[in-house]
Amino acid sequence: MANLTTEQKESYWRYNVKLTTVLLVIWFVVTYLLGGLFAGALNEIVVLGFPLGYYIAAQGSLAIFVIEIAMYAKLMNAKDLEYGIREEG
């Protein structure tokens, strides 16, 4: 591993914490608000036959989770390279 200075370590970790927070906020809003508390209201909107609230809980949220994890892996792996963190594996 490249020897990171304390400052570099801190900024790497801050980036990670920020990314994690953003992803968790999206996760929370999608699951508990859109797919939960407000699903009843969203059901008024119908797309392709799907009441929207039902759709988010049944399929939309899952797709968003997949995209979120893919984004996390992509961004963190890129960040590693940017900081010269290369694993032997």
Partner 1 sequence: MHLNRIFGLYTVAFIVVTVLIGIAEAIFGLSKQWIGWIFMALSMGIYVLIGIITRTSDADQYYVAGRGVPAVYNGMATGSDWMSAASFISMGGALSAQGFGGLAYVMGWTGGYLLLAVFLGPYLRQYGKYTIPDFLGARYEGNTPRVIGVVAAILASFTYLIAQVTGVGLIVSRFIGLDFNVGCFVGLVGVLFCSVLGGMKSVTWTQVAQYIILITSYLVPVVVLSFKLFAVPVPQVMYGQLLQSNNVKAFQITADPQEKATRALWAAESKALAEKMKDPAVSDADKDKAKAAKTAADKQATAPAAEGAKLEKYLTVPEGRGMWNFLALTFCLMVGTAGLPHILTRYYTTPSVRQARTSVGWSLFFIFLLYFTAPAYASFARDAVFTGLVGSQVSQLPSWVTLWAPAGLFSVVDKLGDGVVQFADFVVKSTDFVVLATPEIAGLPFVITGLVMAGGLAAALSTADGLLLTIANAVSHDLYYNVINPRASLLRRLTITKIFLIATAVIAAWVATARLAIIVEMVAWAFSLGAAAFFPALVMGIWWKRANRPGAIAGMLAGLGTTLFYMVGSRFFGLSWFGTNTVASGVFGIPLGFITIWIVSLLTKPPPLELQNFVSELRFPKTGGAAAETTHIGAAGAAT
Q: Is 25 in the site for partner 1 (CB under 8 A)?
A: no
C-beta contacts of 20-26 below 8 A and 24+ residues apart? 20/72, 23/68, 23/71, 23/72, 26/64, 26/68
- Which pair of tokens denotes residue 1? 């591993």
Cα dist from 30 to 8, 38, 82, whole Å: 33, 10, 31
Q: How far is the CB of 16 from partner 1 (least distance, A)?
A: 7
Q: Is 23 in the site for partner 1 (CB under 8 A)?
A: yes
Residues that bind partner 1 (CB under 8 A): 1, 4, 9, 12-13, 16, 19-20, 23-24, 27, 31-32, 35-37, 39-40, 43, 46-51, 53-55, 57-59, 61-63, 65-66, 68-70, 72-73, 76-77, 80, 85, 87-89
